[in-house]
Chains A and B, each alone.
Chain A
């Protein structure tokens, strides 16, 4: 069953604005990962946050993890048109042997 659920399903913003996407999951996890997918392409790994971490930064990306609420958020600051893509969270559940369960994704459109 799908574990990660992102919201919103679609988000449209103007260049320069910040974009926030949320992800909820159901079981205990080892880590949570965020990926980006441009239309018809493979996935690009953005950031991994472990279950004992609460926040992580990478460039314009900021990820938070709240294991008590089983949720995570991805913030993209100062968005660019090139950030237009689908964003997926994926959870590595405890005992899953590194298998990832993907959410349905958020389609982000950044308008120039």
Chain B
């Protein structure tokens, strides 16, 4: 099946720093990728839709200047959490759409902001 990777798998950073998370589709091209956030024991919340070659579309309530998304190629999307604060600590998961239906998810990145 289609494989999506994320890097890093976990990161600890100090408050005020920026953190970049990469999402790659390894064996297929993805014109559309999605970024989700998941708090402990809760469901996934869609943050934004990342489209190759165009600006990301953010869900209501998600700050675009806080969560910068760049879809540089058909296999890579990056999420940068700028000036991270402890409340940004969460599990961030990306997905990539293959064959216009099925979304394949990355293994997630756990972010802890001290």
A binding-site residues for B, Cβ under 8 Å: 2, 30-31, 33, 35, 40-45, 48, 88, 90, 92, 97-105
Complex Cα distance, B107 from A18, in Å, reads 28
Picked from A30, A40, A42, A98, the residue with its CB within 8 Å of the CB of B105 is A42
**Total inter-chain residue pairs, C-beta < 8 Å:** 55
- Given A42-B93, A43-B93, A45-B1, A102 contacting B43 (CB threshold 8 A): yes
In contact, B43 and A88 (Cβ under 8 angstroms) = yes
Binding site for A on B (CB under 8 A): 1, 6, 32, 34, 42-46, 49, 91, 93, 95, 97, 100-108, 110
Give the Cβ gap from A84 to chain B, nearest Cβ, in Å.
15
The complex places the Cα of A31 from the Cα of B34 at a distance, in Å, of: 17
Shortest Cβ distance from residue A49 to the other chain B in the assembled complex, whole angstroms: 11
Extra pairs beyond A42-B6, A99-B49 (12, CB < 8 Å): A2-B43, A40-B110, A42-B93, A43-B105, A45-B1, A45-B103, A45-B104, A98-B32, A99-B34, A100-B34, A101-B46, A105-B43
Residues in A neighbouring B34, C-beta threshold 8 A? 99-100
- From A31, A41, A45, A48, give the contact of B107 (CB < 8 A): A41
> How far is A33 from B105 in the complex, measured between Cα atoms in Å?
13
Q: Smallest CB-CB separation from A42: which chain B residue?
A: B107
